Amino acid sequence: MTTIEKAVDLLRAGRLVAFPTETVYGLGANALDEDAVRRIFAAKGRPLSSPLIVHVDSIDMARELALKWPEAADALARQFWPGPLTIIVPKRPSVPNVVSAGLPGVGLRMPAHAMALALLKAVGLPLAAPSANRFTQLSPTTAQHVREGLGNAVDLILDGGPCAVGIESTVISLLGPTPRLLRAGMITQPAIEAVIGPVETGAGADSPGQHPKHYSPRTPVVLGDSPLSGRGIRLDFSNMPPDAAGYAEKLYRVLHQLDSENYDWIAIEPPPDTPEWAGIRDRLQRAAYRSSCAT
Ligand code: TXA
Ligand code: MG
C-alpha cells in the first residue's frame, strides 16, 4: 500500500492526515464528515469559533460546495488556482456548520502542491485543513515541524519536503457587495485588483479567527530594536533574503529553528511597507503581539 493509499483509507474513516501544501502543512480531514472535522479542532486545541479552509482539487469541486459561485470567484480561481488564495463564498448546507464556525461562507482553496493534489484526487473528497499546528503557534513548513507540534494527535503525516511559499494563503471574502481581503499573503492586493477591480481591506464582520496573537513562536518577538534584556538574536536583511518570496519561504523555518535555541528574545528588522511584503508584515506583527503587550 502506498502512503497516499493509506492516507485515503484514514480520511475515509474520519481520521486526520497532515499533508504538505505550497504555503504550510495542513491538518486534513473529510470536510463533509462533521465528527472528523471536530477531531481537527480537538487536535489543535482550536476554538470552534475559528473557521477552517476547505481544500479542493478543481473549480468543479469548489462549485459543488458553493451555494453561489460569483463571477469574481471564477475569475480569481482561473487566475490563481492552484495557488495560495482562499476564496470565501456562500456555502451549501452539505458543508457542516462546524467547518465554517457557523458562518454563512466557506473558504475554498486549490493548493499548488503535487502531493496535496494527488491526495485530493485519490480521496475524491474536499479536505478541511487548517495549518497543522497547535492553536496560536507557528505554522509548520516541514513534516518535522508537524511531528514536533502535534505528535500523536495526527494519524499520518505525509512528507512533501519544505513548503515553497512558506506563509499562509491570502484570504478574500466574496460575501459582501465589495470583495474584502481578510488575510494578506503572497498573492497581493494589486494582483487581485488587476483581476476583479477594487477590494476592501481590514477586518470586517466576516473575518473571524484573526486572533491578533497567532503565528507565534514561544520566544518573545520584537519588531525593530529589542528593548528587552538578556540573550537575544537579531533577524535582519544581512541574514534573510532581500526579496519577499525568498523571505517568506524561509521565515517560519528560521523562527522554528531560533525558537528551539532558547533565546530570551528575537528582534526582527521590519520589512518594507509595500504590497509584496504585506503578508510577511502581518505575520511578523502577530508573532510580536505577545511581547508588545506583555506584562
Ligand atoms: O495556506 C493556508 O491557508 C493554510 C493551508 C493549510 O491551506 N491553511 C491555513 O488555515 O492557514 P488556518 O485555519 O490556519 O487559517 C484559516 C483562516 C481562519 O483563521 C480565518 O481567518 C479564515 O482563514 N477563514 C477560513 N474560512 C473562513 C470563513 N468561512 N469565513 C471567514 N474567514 C474564514
Ligand atoms: Mg493557522
**Lookup: cell for 7:** 492516507
Whether ligand 1 lies within 6 angstroms of the CB of 209 is answered as: yes
* Nearest Cα residue to 268 out of 260, 144, 276, 250: 250
Phi-psi region of 52 (alpha: psi -120 to 50; beta: other; left: phi over 0): beta
What's the mean per-residue pLDDT of the chain? 94
Q: How far is the CA of 130 from the centre of ligand 2 (A)?
A: 6
Centre of ligand 2 from the C-alpha of residue 176, in Å: 24
Ligand 2 centre from 109 Cα, in Å? Answer: 14
**What distance in angstroms lies between residue 229's CA and the mean position of ligand 2's atoms?**
30
pLDDT digits (tens, 9 = 90+) for 167-180: 999 999 999 999 99
> 28 has which bridge partners?
17
Q: Is the pLDDT of residue 118 over 70?
A: yes
Residue ranges of domains in the chain: 3-201, 221-294
The ligand 1 atom nearest the CA atom of 133: 14
| Residue 108 backbone dihedrals phi, psi, to 5 degrees | -120, 145
Is the CB–ligand 1 distance for residue 133 below 6 Å?
Answer: no
Q: Is the peptide bond before 271 cis (omega within 30 degrees of 0)?
A: no
Does residue 129's CB lie within 6 angstroms of at least one atom of ligand 1? yes
Class of domain 3-201: alpha beta
Which amino acid makes up residue 13?
Answer: A
In 3D space, the residue among 179, 11, 213 whose CA is nearest the CA of residue 105 turns out to be 179
CA distance 278 to 276: 6
Confidence of residue 226 (pLDDT cuts 50, 70, 90): confident
Of 130-139, 145-154, 210-219, give the lowest mean pLDDT range.
Answer: 210-219
Give the side-chain half-sphere CA count within 13 A for 119.
38
Supply the pLDDT for residue 213: 62
User: How would DSSP label each residue in 77-112?
Assistant: HHHH-SSSEEEEEEBPTTS-TTTTTT-SEEEEE---
Please, which contacts does 72-77 make with residues 24 or more away whose CB atoms are closer than 8 Å? 72/174, 72/179, 72/196, 73/174, 75/195, 75/196, 76/172, 76/192, 76/195, 76/196, 77/110
pLDDT digits (tens, 9 = 90+) for 169-223: 999 999 999 999 999 999 999 999 999 999 999 865 545 555 666 678 999 999 9
Cα 147 to Cα 135: distance, rounded to the nearest angstrom:
15
Gap from CA of 53 to ligand 1 centroid (Å): 5
pLDDT tens track for 239-253: 999 999 999 999 999
Phi, psi of 222 (to 5 degrees): -125, 135
Cell of 114: 503535487
Mutate to test the pocket of ligand 1, among 168, 174, 180, 215 (most ligand atoms within 8 A of CB): 168
86 lines ligand 1 (CB under 6 A): yes
Give first-to-last CA distance, the chain, whole Å.
Answer: 53
For atom 3 of ligand 1, which residue has the closest CA? 169
| Partner residues linked to 131 by β-bridges | 26
Q: How is residue 272 written as a grid cell?
A: 518594507
Contact by Cβ (8 Å): 280, 244: yes
